[in-house]
Amino acid sequence: MTKKRNIIVGQSGGPTSVINSSLAGVYKTAKERGFDKVYGMLHGIQGLLDEQYVDLSSQIHTDMELELLMRTPSAFLGSCRYKLPEIHDNPAVYEKIFMILDKLGIEAFIYIGGNDSMDTIKKLSDYAIIKGHNQKFLGVPKTIDNDLAQTDHTPGFGSAAKYIAASTKEVIRDALCLTYNKEMITIIEIMGRNAGWLTGATALSRTEECDGPDLIYLPELPFDIDKFLNNVKELLKKKHSIVIAVSEGIKLMDGRYVCELSGGTNYVDAFGHKQLQGTAAYLASFLSAEIGCKTRSIEFSTLQRCASHMASRVDINEAFMVGGAAVKAADEGDTGKMVVIDRVSDDPYMSAASTYDVHLIANNEKLVPRNWVNQEGNYITDDFINYIEPLIQGDCQPFMVNGLPQHLVLK
């Protein structure tokens, strides 16, 4: 009897519309490359520590279910926001994890996540090498924020960008029809604590039949509220309906978040990140007070990361590809790496997967470069638009049952 070769996969951090397409890619490639069991950690490394896992073949029985998984938003296996301690601070946690991996006969450990999740891959692969364990640890990129280093972009970003651009177009149409002989300012708040990739995606709504937003503010540049007010006043001389896109994370020169000006409460998560909300609402009431016209604020909120009904086909396919590429790399002996997407060509758009040392990726944030924002700091450049545009192409229709998108759920 040949030795059993098992693999385990987990999902971590904020979910996306296509995180399950990566899971499908891991599952399918693992089966095709002859792994015996494909385990799924429930709620990532945190669940694994409680020995919470499933055999994925008990969940996915047919190719149609695999397709349905690819169209299901949010982490199928459950997610977590759990930061592994430093190895020297708490070796017991590591001993427990490797005891469980040994018990399950795991050869490869695949973790689908963002920055914080790559920190987990880094620590586990370091520990394995130090202690002489043979398991391979591979990271699969996932984040709507697109802030991972070394990869051209991250799976999840394209679909979020597509949802944001489509919704911005619809909001602009809504605003235009309501503004006859009166002014209205619409402020759209987009996710992005430090990186403005998603907020920039609102510019994709500028098409042959739509002006797109009038002003775009990213968190990479300090937000000058006086200049902002002047920009808006100038625009109101030319048009009645002004639409402005802002990142939730824009900050004043002095470092305060704009959303803090409203005096709301702020929740801090396990990684010490402040939960930001209310930036658009604050600016809407500010402009209403300063200018006296009607204003409204719209937060696209959680829908940005779970609206799989507006997923991009390019994104779904790439998410699947990086999941499969991680299994291939682990199977070929790689460890301590994250799969990255390389842009092979812009026109026509082509991409391929390779791997990169996770130590150079974890805890690093990729921000929008200064030269992809205009001089005034209130719009993005064509280079930025050309970068995103290929990532929102193609559709992936949900399986509609009884009028609603169907999802695959854990049994």
**145-204 positions binding its own copies, by CB under 8 A:** 162, 165-167, 169-171, 173-174, 176-178, 180-181, 204
Rg, the chain, Cα only: 22
Look up 145 and say whether it is catalytic: yes
Out of 7, 66, 80, 326, point to the residue binding its own copies (CB under 8 A). Answer: 80
CB of 355 to its own copies, least distance (A): 26
**In the complex, least distance from residue 314 CB atom to its own copies, rounded to whole angstroms:** 8
Count of residues that interact with its own copies, criterion CB under 8 A: 71
- Rounded to the nearest 5 degrees, what angle is found at the Cα of 265, between the Cα atoms of 263 and 266? 120
Q: Which of residues 263-292 bind its own copies (CB under 8 A)?
A: 265, 267, 285, 288
In DSSP terms, 401 is beta-bridged to 404
Site membership for its own copies, residue 354 (CB under 8 A): no
Which residue from 386, 392, 317 is spatially nearest to 345, judged by alpha carbons? 386
Residue 393 within binding range of its own copies, rule CB under 8 A: yes
Of 112-120, 121-129, 350-358, 388-396, the window that binds its own copies (rule: CB under 8 A) is 388-396
Exactly one of 22, 79, 279, 335 binds its own copies (CB under 8 A); that residue is 79
Active-site position among 116, 145, 315, 331: 145
Counting contacts by CB under 8 A, is residue 143 touching its own copies? no
- Angle in degrees, CA 228, 231, 235, rounded to 5: 140
Count of beta carbons in the 10 Å neighbourhood of residue 36: 15
At residue 302, the 3 state secondary structure works out as coil
Q: Which of residues 309-328 bind its own copies (CB under 8 A)?
A: 309-310, 312
Looking at residue 51, the DSSP 8-state letter turns out to be T
Write down the least CB distance from residue 155 to its own copies, Å: 16
Give yes or no for a contact between 354 and 152, defined as CB atoms under 8 angstroms apart: no
Which tokens is 341 given? 């997407």
Query: Residue 71 has which token pair?
Result: 């169209």
Contact call for residue 107 and its own copies (CB under 8 A):
no
- What is the rounded CA–CA span in Å between residue 146 and residue 18? 13
Report the distance separating Cα 276 and Cα 305, nearest Å: 16
Residue 92 interacting with its own copies (CB under 8 A) = no
Site for its own copies contains 75 (CB under 8 A): yes
C-beta closer to its own copies: residue 29 or 167? 167
Segment contacting its own copies (CB under 8 A): 32-40, 69-77, 97-105, 113-121?
A: 69-77
Of 92 and 177, which has the nearer Cβ to its own copies?
177
Looking at the Cβ atoms of 301 and 363, the one nearer to its own copies is 301
Pairing of strands 294-299, 215-217: unpaired
The minimum distance between CB 34 and its own copies, in angstroms, equals 30
Q: With the C-alpha atoms ordered 204, 193, 44, 115, is the resulting torsion angle positive or negative? A: positive
- Using CB under 8 A, which of 10, 40, 73, 141 touches its own copies? 73
Nearer Cβ to its own copies, position 17 or 355?
A: 17
**367-374 contacts, C-beta under 8 A, 24 or more apart:** 367/147, 367/194, 367/195, 367/196, 367/220, 368/195, 368/196, 368/197, 368/200, 368/218, 368/220, 370/220, 370/221, 372/200, 373/196, 373/218, 373/220, 373/221
CA distance 112 to 216: 31
Among 144, 306, 341, 362, binds its own copies (CB under 8 A): 306
Site residues (CB under 8 A) for its own copies, limited to 210-249: 210
Q: Does 378 bind its own copies (CB under 8 A)?
A: no
Please tell me whether residue 47 binds its own copies under the rule CB under 8 A: yes
Q: Out of 230, 301, 374, 386, which residue is the one contacting its own copies (CB under 8 A)? A: 301
Contacting residue, 72, 125, 202, 247, with its own copies by CB under 8 A: 72
What size, in residues, is the chain? Answer: 411
By CB under 8 A, which span of 190-198, 347-355, 366-374, 385-393 interacts with its own copies? Answer: 385-393
331 binds its own copies (CB under 8 A): no
Q: How many CB atoms lie within 10 A of CB 197?
A: 30
Per-residue buried b or exposed e for 48-58, using 16+ beta carbons within 10 Å of the residue's own CB: bbeeebbebee
Give catalytic residue positions: 145
